[in-house]
Amino acid sequence: MTVKSIIITSPILPDIFDTNNSLKKLVCMKTYIILIFILLSIPVTINAFSPPLLTDVQVKIDQEYLIVSYNIDNFQDGINIGINIFKKISKKLLPIKNDKMKGNIGIISPKEDYKILIDLKSLPDDFNLEHYVCFPKLTFKGRIYYEMLKIPKGKHPAVIEEDLIELERTGGFYISKFEVSNEQFAAFINDDGYEIKEYWLVKEGVMENQEVGWNFQGRFKMSAPFEWNLDEMPYWKSASSNFIYDPVTTLRWFEANAFCNWMGCSLPDLTEISICFSFNSVENDTVYNPVCLEINDDGQFPLHFIKSNVSEWLILSVDSNAPPCGPGCREMFYLKNNSQMHDEFPIKGISCPLYRNEILGFRLLIVPLKK
């Protein structure tokens, strides 16, 4: 159990230690020691809140409108819904004026289902869902969430290796349909995410020391992904992955873990990502793109572009008997899942959590709180 360092100051302490009454002094000392022990025994809290979840997104076009429907799980007051639209080839952003939209956009109230209507007359003449990308985003407490896919409790086929599928049991979880984007990670920086120790703590059991991420943050003076420049806008302008909705890359495992803690999420483990992996994912598409597939009729749970985006950090560390790769830390697994891969099943790699490169990002996982 990890404990917090606490210093207690009180104006009565000098009187306690200066008293001539030995019995009174002993009782006070015992009380003081017990109080310190209780306070030091308070465990460190990670993932302090459970965020609202954007689910079941559907995008279609009728004769008059672009229609975006969605649901919200774990509704909370203060949810703000926006729309992102861009052209696939040019990656040109398409801003839409509020007076051209109607329905459940902006600050929303709880409902069973939600819908946004965008007048087609306000969109380019060549607008269609083959050449343009349209998806909603949920902003809550300064954090940006995209669509999450719900994997229900039970047993699910999991791709273990080529030609080998086994049933894996899960208590149920939500997983982001695509990797964390530059836009999402910039919000973490703007909220001083690199400066708050709580976010940098590592889940107990993953590494030998829960504070190892915070220690390395200070040692290497981490402040942003490697190719980002906080003196220019946008921060990712000079990065290899430099579109607002591209996956954020060139960041260490510790940075991905800190972001997840800030978001009230975690990184997936190998079992969870194996359950979600699908042979039906789109291949050989060079456009990083958050349009997501729906659940297949055969029960598989595809994550769109899982074969053509970036490799992804996982929460799983190597066996505790393996030698540490640094003071208090262990090597971490990642999913080899990028445009350079041509395999038909998920393959894991292992690397030091301080490693980073331009085709390594991550996605989010949320385990709902039990009611």
Judge if 227 and 356 occupy the same domain: yes
Is residue 121 in a domain?
yes
Judge if 74 and 208 occupy the same domain: no
Is residue 159 in a domain?
no
- Where is pLDDT greater, at 345 or 93? 93
Per-residue pLDDT of 180-209, as tens digits, reads: 999 999 999 999 999 999 999 999 889 888
Is residue 195 in a domain?
yes
Is residue 145 in a domain?
no
Which among 135, 132, 158 is positioned nearest to 148, based on CA atoms? 135
Last residue of a domain, one of 123, 140, 157: 140
Number of domains in the chain: 3
Token readout for 192 is 């001083």
> How much of the chain, in percent, has pLDDT values that exceed 90?
49
Is residue 163 in a domain?
no
Per-residue pLDDT of 118-151, as tens digits, reads: 999 999 999 998 889 899 999 999 999 999 988 8
- Where is pLDDT greater, at 305 or 330? 330
Residue range of the domain that includes 172: 168-366
Is residue 161 in a domain?
no
What count of Cα atoms within 13 Å lies in the side-chain half-sphere of residue 368?
18
Judge if 245 and 304 occupy the same domain: yes
Is residue 152 in a domain?
no
Q: Which residues contact 230 (CB under 8 A, 6 or more apart)?
A: 189, 223, 224
Q: Which of 8-22, 34-48, 258-272 has the highest mean pLDDT?
A: 258-272
CATH number at residue 94: 2.60.40
Q: What is the pLDDT of residue 203?
A: 92
- CA 85 from centroid of its chain's CA atoms: 22
Beta strands (DSSP E) in 251-364 are 311-317, 332-336, 347-351, 360-361
Burial 210-239 (b: 16+ CB within 10 A, else e): bbbbbbbbeeeebebbebbeeeeeebbeeb
Judge if 249 and 218 occupy the same domain: yes
Judge if 317 and 344 occupy the same domain: yes
Is residue 147 in a domain?
no
Per-residue pLDDT of 221-261, as tens digits, reads: 999 999 999 999 999 999 999 999 989 999 999 999 999 99
Judge if 8 and 67 occupy the same domain: no
pLDDT band per the 50, 70, 90 thresholds, residue 161: low
Which among 293, 201, 191 is positioned nearest to 254, based on CA atoms? 201
Per-residue pLDDT of 86-109, as tens digits, reads: 998 888 999 988 889 999 999 999
Q: Is the pLDDT of residue 29 over 90?
A: no
Judge if 67 and 192 occupy the same domain: no
Q: Is the pLDDT of residue 159 over 90?
A: no
Query: Which of 9-18, 85-94, 306-315 has the least mean pLDDT?
Result: 9-18
